[in-house]
Amino acid sequence: MYTLFVIIHVLVSLVLCVVVLLQSGKGGGLAGAFGGGGGAPQQMLGSRGMTTLLHKVTIWCGVGFMVTSLVLFMMSGTRTTGSGGVLEDAQQRGEFGQPAPTAPIEVPAETPPPTGGDADSGQDETSGGGGID
C-alpha cells in the first residue's frame, strides 16, 4: 500500500510540474512554445478555457500532492523497517554502560643491531676514516 501511494505521489508531482510550466505568465511561458499564443490549443478550448483548464488541473494536482504527502507521512510513522536502528539494538542487548572492548596492544620486539662488515671494524662512519684530507 505504501508503494502505491509513493507511485501516485510521484505521478502527481510530475503532472503538477508540467501543468505549472505550461501556464502562460507575463512572458508567455512554455505554453507559447507549443502554440499557446493564438494557435490550435486556444481554438480548441477557447482563449478563456485554456487558462481555466490549466488552473483547475493545477489546483487538483496541488490538492493531490498535499493529500498524498500527508498520507505518506502518516504511513511512514507506523511502517517498520525490520530494525529500530543501531542504538535501539544496542539497548536491547544491554550494551549501554558497558566499557568498549579493547584489543590487546602488541609491542614490537626490539630489533637487534645490524651485523655487517663496517659495524665490526670499529670505525665510526662519521669520523671520515677513508675520506680525503
> Which pLDDT value is given to residue 121?
55
Quote the CA–CA distance of 10 and 6 in Å, as a whole number.
6
The residue to which cell 485554456 is assigned? 50
- Nearest of 23, 65, 21 to residue 41 by alpha carbon: 23
- Confidence band (pLDDT; 50, 70, 90) for 47? low
> Which pLDDT value is given to residue 68?
95
Could you read off the pLDDT of 50-94 as tens digits, one per residue? 557 888 899 999 999 999 999 999 988 766 555 667 777 777 777
Could you read off the pLDDT of 13-40 as tens digits, one per residue? 999 999 988 887 665 556 666 665 555 5
Could you read off the pLDDT of 94-129 as tens digits, one per residue? 767 767 777 787 877 787 777 765 555 555 556 555
Whether the model clears a pTM of 0.75, i.e. scores above it, the answer is: no
Question: Mean of the pLDDT values across residues 44-54?
Answer: 60
pLDDT at 45 over 90: no
Strand ranges (E), the chain: none
> Which pLDDT value is given to residue 62?
94
Q: Are 42 and 36 in contact (CB under 8 A)?
A: yes
Instruction: Express as a percent the part of the chain with pLDDT over 90.
Output: 24
